[in-house]
Amino acid sequence: MSDSSPDLRTFTVKDAAAQLGMSVQSTYRAIYNAGLPVVRIGSAIRIRERDLLAWLDERTEVAA
């Protein structure tokens, strides 16, 4: 298995925040209010890379 596979790679909330250029608090708001999908493993929250990319794609706007 490859560690770089988008189907397997996950981020912590802190790592996802860094990838998005957002604060950790804003990333939690995206999870709870804006539908950013997560995987819960016990009390840990992980964000799959493919879900993060799909969530971003859904929010992409083209300036008019």
Please state the φ and ψ torsions of residue 41, each to the nearest 5 degrees: -125, 100
pLDDT at 4: 59
pLDDT at 1: 46
The Cα–Cα gap between 56 and 35 comes to 11
- In tens digits, the chain (64 residues) has pLDDT values of 455 565 789 999 999 999 999 999 999 999 999 999 999 999 999 999 999 999 999 999 888 7
- The DSSP secondary structure of the chain, one letter per residue, reads --TT-TTT-EE-HHHHHHHHT--HHHHHHHHHHS----EEETTEEEEEHHHHHHHHHHT-----
**Token pair for 19:** 């990838």
**Amino acid (one-letter) located at 6:** P
pLDDT at 62: 86
State the pTM of this model.
0.81
